[in-house]
Copies of this chain bind each other. A is one copy, B any other.
Amino acid sequence: MALVVQKYGGSSVADAGCIKRVAQRIVATKKAGNDVVVVVSAMGDTTDELIDLAEQVSPLPPGRELDMLLTAGERISMALLAMAIANLGHEARSFTGSQAGVITDGSHGKARIIDVTPGRIRSALDTGSIAIVAGFQGVSQDSKDITTLGRGGSDTTAVALAAALDADVCEIYTDVDGIFTADPRIVPTSRRVPRISYEEMLEMAACGAKILHLRCVEYARRYGIPIHVRSSFSQKEGTWVVDTIEGTAMEQAIISGVAHDRSEAKITVVGVPDKVGEAAAIFGVLANTEVNIDMIVQNVSAASTGRTDISFTLPEADGQTAMAALNKVKEQVGFESMRYDDQIGKVSLIGAGMRSHPGVTAKFFGAIADAGVNIEMISTSEIRISVIVNQDDVDGAVAAAHAAFDLDSEQVEAVVYGGTGR
Chain A 40-65 per-residue mask, 1 if CB under 8 angstroms from chain B, else 0: 00000000001001101111111011
In the complex, how many angstroms separate the beta carbon of A319 from the nearest chain B beta carbon?
30
Q: Are B75 and A68 in contact (CB under 8 A)?
A: yes
0/1 string, A125-149, CB within 8 A of B gives 1: 0000000000000000000100000
Asked whether A4 is an interface residue with its Cβ less than 8 Å from the other chain, the reply is: no
Contacting residues, chain B, for A61 (C-beta < 8 A): 83, 86-87
Find out whether the CB atom of A79 lies under 8 angstroms from the CB atom of B69. yes
Cβ proximity bits A349-374 to B, threshold 8 Å, 1 near / 0 not: 00000000000000000000000000
Quick check: is A407 within 8 A (CB to CB) of the other chain?
no
A114 interface contact, C-beta 8 A: no
Of A59, A66, A76, the most chain B CB neighbours within 10 A belong to A76
Instruction: Give complex CA distance A20, B50 in Å.
Output: 16
Interface residues of A in 84-130 (CB under 8 A from B): 84, 86-87, 92-94, 99, 120
Tell me whether B86 and A75 are in contact (CB under 8 A).
Answer: no
Residue A281 at the chain B interface, CB threshold 8 Å: no
The chain B residue sitting closest to A56, CB to CB, is B16
Q: Are A16 and B82 in contact (CB under 8 A)?
A: no
- Give chain B residues whose Cβ lies under 8 Å from the Cβ of A12: none
In contact, B66 and A72 (Cβ under 8 angstroms): no
Cβ of A197 under 8 Å from chain B = no
Pick the contact of A64: B62, B87, B93 (CB < 8 A): B93
User: How many A residues, CB 8 Å from partner?
Assistant: 38
A39 within 8 A of B: no
> In whole angstroms, how far apart are the Cα atoms of A27 and B353 in the complex?
64
Q: Is A19 in the interface zone, CB < 8 Å from B?
A: yes
Whether the Cβ atoms of B75 and A20 lie closer than 8 Å is no
Is A201 at the interface (CB under 8 A from chain B)? no
How far does the Cβ of A36 sit from chain B's closest Cβ, in whole Å? 16
Chain B residues within 8 Å of A72, by CB: 72, 75-76, 79
* Chain B residues within 8 Å of A53, by CB: 16, 76, 80
B87–A76 touching, CB < 8 Å: no
Contact of A65 among B23, B94, B120 (CB under 8 A): B94
Q: Does A78 contact B (CB under 8 A)?
A: yes
Contact with A86, one of B50, B65, B80, B94 (Cβ below 8 angstroms): B65
A71 at interface by CB-CB < 8 Å: yes
Bound complex: CA A76 to CA B51 (Å): 11
Assess the A57–B83 pair: CB atoms within 8 A: yes
Nearest-Cβ distance from residue A318 to partner chain B, whole angstroms: 26
Most B C-beta atoms less than 10 A away, residue of A50, A57, A58, A86:
A57
> Min CB distance, A47 to chain B, in Å?
12
Other-chain residue from B54, B80, B83 in contact with A83 (beta carbon distance below 8 A): B54
B71 pairs with A75, CB closer than 8 A = yes
Residues from chain B with Cβ under 8 Å of A56 in the complex:
16
Contact B54 A68 (CB under 8 A): no
Is B75 within 8 A of A58, CB to CB?
no
Contact B50 A65 (CB under 8 A): no
Contact of B99 with A144 in the complex, beta carbons under 8 Å: yes
A53 CA to B79 CA, complexed, in Å: 10
Given A57-B81, A65-B92, A69-B79, 12 additional A-B pairs, CB 8 A = A23-B57, A54-B79, A54-B83, A57-B84, A61-B86, A61-B87, A62-B82, A65-B79, A65-B86, A65-B94, A69-B75, A69-B83
Q: Show 13 A/B contacts (Cβ-Cβ < 8 Å), sorted by A.
A: A16-B57, A20-B57, A54-B83, A57-B87, A61-B83, A61-B86, A64-B93, A65-B82, A65-B94, A71-B75, A72-B75, A75-B75, A120-B144
7 closest Cβ pairs, A-B complex: A16-B56, A69-B79, A58-B87, A68-B79, A61-B83, A58-B83, A57-B84
